[in-house]
Amino acid sequence: MKEVMAIVRQNKVNVTKEALAEAGIPAFTCRRVLGRGKKLIDMTLLRSIVDSGEVPQNSTGEYLSEMNRLIPKRVFTMIVEDSEVEKAITAIMEVNSTGNPGDGKIFILPIYENYRVRNGELTTEAY
């Protein structure tokens, strides 16, 4: 079993849910998160613009003021059988990829054990 963790734009939640369901992966957890990528910012330029009080009120200004800002994202987490990992990745990629920075990330982690809280049973089932 594997854990598929996908960080996506917040406006892509519904299409991601639909894509996963259509791919046969109806069980997942979705959480609101805040974070930022590793996009580098020219701090000298930013300081001079902020100090002058001339930060534009448009997407350029948003980009420049993003230095310390955490961006709202959503994290989908699902546990799938090894044979379903590619299906999950494909479903997520198809609806979230715009070709622009900030589209998200997908991480795949191994699951070593799985217990049912209801009865403490150790199981190998993904769901």
Does some domain include residue 56?
Answer: no
Question: Which helix or strand (DSSP H or E) is residue 73 part of?
Answer: strand 71-80
Q: Which two three-digit tokens encode residue 51?
A: 């100090």
Q: What is the pLDDT along the chain (127 residues), one digit of tens a residue?
A: 999 999 999 999 999 999 999 999 999 999 999 887 776 666 676 667 667 666 556 665 656 555 567 788 999 999 999 999 999 999 999 999 998 888 999 999 999 988 988 988 888 776 6
Q: Which domain holds residue 24?
A: 2-36+70-110
CATH number, residue 7: 3.30.70.120
Contact 87, 4 (CB under 8 A): no
pLDDT at 100: 85
Residue 50 lies in a domain: no
In a domain, 10, yes or no: yes
80 found inside a domain:
yes
Q: How many domains does the chain have?
A: 1
11 within a domain of the structure (yes/no)? yes
